[in-house]
Structure 1
Amino acid sequence: MRQSLQHPGSAPVPLPRGGRDKFLDMVRAGAILAVITQHWAMPVLAYSDGRLATGNALVTPGWWIVTWLSQVMPLVFFAGGAANLISLRRAPSTRDWLAARVRRLLLPVLPLLAVWLVVPDLLRGFGIPEQPLQVAGAIAAQLLWFLSIYLVTVLVTPLMVAAHRRWGLAVPAVLTGLAVLVDLARFNDLGLIGYANAIFVWLAVHQFGFHYVEGRLGTIGRRGALGLSAAGFGITALMVAFGPYPASMIGMPGAPVSNMSPPSVLLVSLAVGQIGLLLAAKPAMNAFAARPAVAAALNWIGPRFMSVYLWHMPALVVVSGITVFGLSYRTPDPGTLLWLVLTPLWVAAAALVLTGLLRVFGRFETKAPGGTVTAGTGQLTAAALLGSAGLLGLAAHGFTTPLGGGVLDGPLPWAGAIGLAFLLGGRDLRLRERTTTS
């Protein structure tokens, strides 16, 4: 392992035998479970006369407070930052690390593309109306935004690690300051500039993960962690109370402003609050992770994080298609006794479908991509950027071609970009001059 330059008074978090940080494993597992549970529980659905009506249970008055804990994307980027630094330190070279990360992230997407490029036309053949198909295609693709941004984050990780080791906390502080400036421009109606915070906000949170591995976050005591959490949630509350930010940490239907799309600087302070809360609970979380059943569950989900993320919304589409479209089921009013009784059954049904999907498609993630990687750093950079663009295009446009649209209006160009990115992440594709001997 390469030696790392440390800040005065900081040291890497010592890893237990086997090289796994159980706290990070618990954070990642808890975050993905929170994501899928929220996505499965919050839809309010009804079907009538060829149209699927969609709503969000979290618009119920007062339920916005749930999102302060259930919006766990900050924790995903925090844990990702820590995991990226740990794996980079172990890698033989930066090129080897980048090649492994790019291909590992893109490979599980390929079966999702293969399925969803044909599913809409198959369903049309069975007489499914167009509007529900559009909703299903959008739902299956919309969460690819995360992987798009995360690929860029992975690409710049070596640079951000070097910045971390030189400037420490000044790096997330500067990124947060830039996010504030972007928000100011956004709230003054300066076009699409708000989406720059998809980089500044998430890179700032990702940087916190470095400070867990090589910094004081990894050794902070319970009192300090609780103080950090109080500061993070307190700043978030003040910005909601006196600023232009909505109280919900996820986008709400019909809301004029979203903290998530594009991300606002509020998510940085929310991240501080959430991270501090979990660090305060770290001893208890480590003890819980040591239980044999929990350890087995963590070992199972660990190699399948991306597959669980990619396929949990298609699982919701399957359950919704059978119950809402096929059986005319209507979601009860959120918060009612009937909703409280039926929602666990709904979530259990989606979990059952997801389990089946993972048995078929999870193997793509658990098996390392085959072939020798010979691509250079420049080609790997192009692969990451092309893959990110393809994923973002799919997230924005969905898998279903609009009525009257051509090939270029549908998902094929974006899917092709992702496939090409995966190829670029493998063998060196540069044309080499051939020499012959007489």
Structure 2
Amino acid sequence: MTAAATAASAPANSVATAPVTAVPLPRTAPRPASARAARDPFIDVLRVFGMVLVVLQHWSMPLLSFADGRISTGNALAAGNGWMITWFSQVMPLVFFAGGAANAISRRSAARRGEATPAWLAGRLRRLAWPVVPLAAVWLPLPHLLLAFGVPEQPVMTASRLAGQLLWFLAIYLVAVAATTPMLRLNMVYGWRVPVALAAGAVAVDVLRFTSGLDIAGLPNIVLVWLAVHQLGFLYVDGRLRRPWVLALAGYGLGAALTAFGPYPLSMIGMPGASVSNMAPPTVALLSVGVGQIGLALALRRWIVSFAEWPGVSRALDWAGCRMMTLYLWHMSALFVIVSVVVVGLGISTPEPGTSAWLSGWPHWLLMLALAMWPLLRGFARFETPPATGPYTGGTVRILLATALVGLGLLTFTVNGFVPGTASLLGAGAIVAGLALTGSSRRALPSRGRRGVPSVPDRRADGVVI
């Protein structure tokens, strides 16, 4: 998701030379007080806003009906001009951008403290992967239990697949986190040329994909597109995104041209029956719209920061910031609970999108989903903080192996979901094994404050995981 004067021969730990206690801001924006604490409320807002909008979209767009033991699904945004909404509601580019900024701040802060990259990566890896453990612990046996109680097989298998497909985001975000240190070094030397080179690579991949007619040829863009957006987060931290309206107009303008005259569909999410998706794998059109979203957000930064500093909003951000991973991982489970009761149990189909029945029922639908989500937040948010462990001492090879194992597990769940079978068990085993490798060979006690009280780290002090 510094200045060009930095020499190419900078030492390996040169990321520590970048400023960490203040985020350089665009010339037109005032410096918020919280920037002095190595935090940026603008990034906090983007994270929370992005995740909430993802959840809202996932909860609002399904069209569902149940008959003869099978559940049928559709997409409300496929009707009429619903694709227009996706140009603003498909906010994964904003999430990766915010993640890039958070990772830059966090890594530079850790480097200034003398923390090596393997130890930093071990901490990030634990915070990314640990919340997945309870999700797998619930969903691996759940399909067996539901089938044993006589629930029709097709809805159970559909839910099991979808619950795991959400982990695509963590799989690719893990790649971005693992690449943070070398990409920061490239950023220090080459600046803007790094995301431009990644975007050029994405263009070449799209040309090959559409000229060959093979969607598989577009798979490299899963890395190129999301790393390009992640890299823009580094430039933001360095104060080098100074013309937000230019970014907004250029990004949205290029996206409009590509969808109007190129092979790209209008929607920025996959649609039922569409032969091409801008999302899977991501295309240059999605990258362009993402740049437009980032420019628009930066143009509104002054007002966003002012809004975030209201006491009530600040408290809400503090509360939500420690629960965003839980919300993302479990919001589809909340949806499945309501669907199983309303659609499967009572046989009530969702209304046609845009009708009075759909519009009047939408708030009630969201309220039911929020009520189903609340106990999940209460029960699983504690797993956003991994168990205490001593300082990581395993070295580079071990942490790279741990990263590969966790990534393999996440990718397995992305492809197969939690459908019963060997693949799901192997995926869970890979994640657990990777987490085990992030531990220390010796257990260290928590650091203590001035009065002997164990200190509790601020989970947002150096930029949260996502």
Alignment TM-score > 0.5, same fold: yes
Could you tell me which residue of structure 2 aligns to residue 434 of structure 1? none
Matched, 1:180 2:203: yes
Pairs within 5 Å for 1:83-98:
83-91=102-110, 92-98=115-121
Letter in 2 for 1:19: A
- Corresponding residue to 1:68 among 80, 87, 91: 87
The question of 1:210 aligning with 2:229 is answered no
Aligned to 1:149: 172
RMSD after superposition: 1.8
2:463 paired residue number: none
SS of structure 1 residue aligned to 2:277: coil
C-alpha distance in 2, partners of 1:212/1:4? 17
Which residue matches 2:303? Answer: 284
For the 8 Å contact 2:18–2:108, the answer to whether it is kept is: no
Structure 1: which 5+ residue stretches go unaligned? Answer: 402-406, 430-438
**How far does the alpha carbon of each residue in 1:75-95 deviate from its partner, in whole angstroms, 9 at most, with x for none?**
010000000000001112222
Superimposed CA distance per residue, residues 107-142 of structure 1 (whole angstroms, 9 cap, x where no aligned partner): 000000000011111111110111001111012111
TM-score (norm 2): 0.86
Q: Where do 1:154-233 residues align within 5 Å?
A: 154-187=177-210, 188-190=212-214, 192-217=216-241, 220=242, 224-233=243-252
C-alpha deviation, 1:18, in angstroms = 3.7
1:153–1:178 Cα change, 3 Å: same
Which of the numbers 414, 418, 425 marks the counterpart of 2:431?
418
Q: Give the counterpart letter for 1:296 in structure 2.
A: R
Hey, what does 2:364 align to over in structure 1? Answer: 345
Where do residues 17-416 of structure 1 align in structure 2 (5 Å cutoff)?
17-91=36-110, 92-187=115-210, 188-190=212-214, 192-217=216-241, 220=242, 224-365=243-384, 367-372=385-390, 373-401=392-420, 407-408=421-422, 410-416=423-429
> Do the aligned residues in 1 keep the contact of 2:161 with 2:419 (CA within 8 Å)?
yes
Shift of 1:3: 4.3
CA apart distance, 1:182: 0.8
Q: Cα offset for 1:11?
A: 7.6
Contact 2:15 2:184 (C-alpha < 8 Å) held by counterparts: no
Return closer, same or farther for 1:2/1:202 CA change in 2, 3 Å cut-off: closer
Q: Which amino acid aligns with 1:215?
A: G
Task: Compute the displacement of 1:393 (Å).
Answer: 1.1
3-state secondary structure, aligned to 1:44: strand
What residue identity is the alignment partner of 1:137? Answer: S
Question: Aligned with 2:219: secondary structure?
Answer: helix
**Alignment partners' CA distance in 2, 1:414 and 1:37:** 28
Aligned-partner SS, 2:351: coil
- The letter of the residue matching 1:156 is A
Residues 121 and 11 of structure 1: CA distance in aligned 2, closer, same or farther (over 3 Å):
closer
* Amino acid of the structure 2 residue aligned with 1:136: A
Quote the offset at 1:287 in angstroms.
1.2
Deviation track 1:231-275 (CA, whole Å, cap 9, x = no partner) reads 110000000011000000000011000000111121221111001
- DSSP-derived class of the 2:38 partner: coil
Contact 1:311/1:354 (CA < 8 Å) preserved in 2? Answer: yes
**How far, CA to CA, are the matches of 2:103 and 2:247 in structure 1?**
23
Q: Deviations over 1:189-243 (max 9, x none)?
A: 24622111110000000000001001322xx3xxx32232011100000000110
Letter in 1 for 2:90: Q
Does structure 2 conserve the Cα–Cα contact (< 8 Å) formed by 1:201 and 1:268? yes
1: CA distance, partners of 2:275 / 2:16: 49
Deviates more, 1:96-105 or 1:35-44: 96-105
Query: Would you identify which runs of 4 or more consecutive aligned residues in structure 1 move more than 4 Å?
Result: none
Pair 138,337 (structure 1): closer, same or farther in 2 beyond 3 Å: same
CA contact (8 A) 1:104 1:369 kept: no
Normalising by structure 1, report the TM-score.
Answer: 0.91
1:428–1:151 CA distance, 2 compared to 1 (3 A)? farther
| More displaced 10-residue stretch of structure 1: 72-81 or 297-306 | 297-306
Distance 2:215 2:334 in 1: 35
* 3-state DSSP of counterpart to 1:362: helix
Query: Per-residue displacement from partner, 1:376-403 (whole Å, max 9, x unpaired)?
Result: 22111111121111111111111122xx
1:5, distance to aligned residue in structure 2 (A): 5.1
For the residue of structure 2 that corresponds to 1:411, the secondary structure is helix
Unaligned runs of 5+ in 2: 1-13, 26-30, 443-466
Q: How many Å separate the matches in 1 of 2:239 and 2:328?
A: 30
1:333 is paired with a residue of what secondary structure?
A: coil
Distance 1:166 1:37, change over 3 A: same
Q: Matches of 2:434 and 2:16 in 1, distance apart? A: 32
SS at 1:216 equivalent: coil
Using a 3 Å threshold, how does the CA distance of structure 1 residues 353 and 375 change in structure 2: closer, same or farther? farther
Check 1:190–1:139 CA distance in 2 against 1; reply closer, same or farther (3 A cut).
Answer: closer
